Amino acid sequence: MEAKAGTAVRLNPFKGCDGPEGTPVPWSPYGRILAQRPNFTLDPLFHAGCYYVQDSSSMYVGHVFRKLLGKDIIGPLRVLDLCAAPGGKTTDLAASLREAVGESFELVANEVIRSRASVLADNVGVWGDPAVTVTSVDPAVIGKSMRGYFDIIVADVPCSGEGMFGKDPRARQEWSPQVVELCAARQKRILADVWPALREGGILIYSTCTYEDAENDSNLEWAADKLGGEIFAPENEFASSGVRMTRHGNLLKEGEVPGGGQWVGALKKTASEEPDRRANIASLRPFESRMQIFDASTPRVELDLQQALRYLHRDSLSLSGAPQGLLVVCYRSHPLGFVKNIGSRCNNLYPKSRRIIMDI
Active site residues: 209
C-alpha 83/C-alpha 136 separation (Å) is 10
Residues 6+ apart with CB under 8 A from 104: 75, 76, 77
C-alpha 207/C-alpha 62 separation (Å) is 11
Evaluated on CA atoms 359, 55, 257, 24, the torsion sign reads negative
Burial class (CB in 10 A: 0-12, 13-18, 19+), 140: middle
Residues 6+ apart with CB under 8 A from 80: 107, 108, 110, 142, 150, 152, 153, 154, 194, 197
Burial class (CB in 10 A: 0-12, 13-18, 19+), 193: middle
Contact present, 149 and 197 (Cβ < 8 Å) = yes
- Partners of 203 in beta bridges: 152, 268
3-state secondary structure of 101: helix
- Beta strands 325-331 and 31-34 are unpaired
Cα within 13 Å of Cα(80), Cβ side: 33
Closest CA relative to residue 259, chosen from 175, 171, 167: 167
